Structure 1
Amino acid sequence: MSREEFINYHRQIHAPLFMSIPESQKYVKKYVLSHPTEIAGFPPPEYDSVTDIYFSSMEDFNAFFSSENYKLKVHPDESNFFRLNDVVSLVCDEKTVVDVIKPSALE
């Protein structure tokens, strides 16, 4: 699949499927898809995407990923556009250092 097809599938097919299950509404606090761009002076990206999924607790994380809806509806779709053996997962405890949104950025 081309890069453009991958991004389209991720954003237009998989993300809506992910958000369609009730567990997303119940447990997911923030869901972000990032697709790297190539910029002169930077090395080529090693990954096709970064997906950030925020939960309030590890209990919510576990409840989401162990739910039948995730296992039967969302997870099977991942192999349609991800090489699952190449996926790298990282569970983090995030510490926000600064979080400033200027009013002009919202316009």
Structure 2
Amino acid sequence: MSLEEFIDYHKNIHAPLFCSIPETELYVRKYVVNHPVVTEIFPKPLYDAVVEIYFDSFEDFNTFFSSENYLTKVHPDEPNFFDTVNYIAMANKETIVKADA
């Protein structure tokens, strides 16, 4: 799959699928999909996407990712467009250093 095909699938198939389950409305506070801008001034990206999913708590995180809708509708789509073995997942605590007022 080319980068362009990956981005198209991610934005137009998987992201809407992710947003279609009721648990997204209940537990996900923010869902951001970032894709690289390929340019000569930066090295070639190591990954084709960075996804940010915001939850109010680890309990909400666990409830979302263990829900039947996620496990039966969203999760099975993931191997269709990304490498489910070679990826990085992190839990982070965001510190806003500067934000527009």
TM-score (norm 1): 0.90
* C-alpha separation in 2, matches of 1:41 and 1:25: 38
Q: What residue is the counterpart of 1:93 in the other structure?
A: 93
The alpha-carbon deviation at position 39 of structure 1 amounts to: 2.1
Q: Name the Cα RMSD after superposition.
A: 0.9
* C-alpha separation in 2, matches of 1:33 and 1:14: 11
* C-alpha separation in 1, matches of 2:40 and 2:4: 20
Amino acid at match of 2:10: H
Amino acid at match of 2:14: H
Amino acid at match of 2:69: N
Q: What is the total number of aligned residue pairs between the two structures?
A: 101
Where do 5+ consecutive residues of structure 1 fail to align? 102-107
Amino acid at match of 1:51: V
Query: Which has the higher Rg, Structure 1 or Structure 2?
Result: 1
Please give the residue correspondences for 1:2-17 in structure 2 after superposition, counting only pairs within 5 Å. Answer: 2-17=2-17
* C-alpha separation in 1, matches of 2:31 and 2:48: 17
**Other structure's SS at 1:41 match:** coil
Sequence identity percentage: 56
Runs of 4 or more off by more than 6 Å in structure 1?
none
TM-score (norm 2): 0.95
Amino acid at match of 2:93: D
**Other structure's SS at 1:86 match:** coil
**Greater relative CO, 1 or 2 (CA 8 Å, sep 6+):** 2
Q: What residue is the counterpart of 1:105 in the other structure?
A: none
Please give the residue correspondences for 1:1-107 in structure 2 after superposition, counting only pairs within 5 Å. Answer: 1-101=1-101
The alpha-carbon deviation at position 40 of structure 1 amounts to: 2.0
* C-alpha separation in 1, matches of 2:94 and 2:72: 29
Where do 5+ consecutive residues of structure 2 fail to align? none
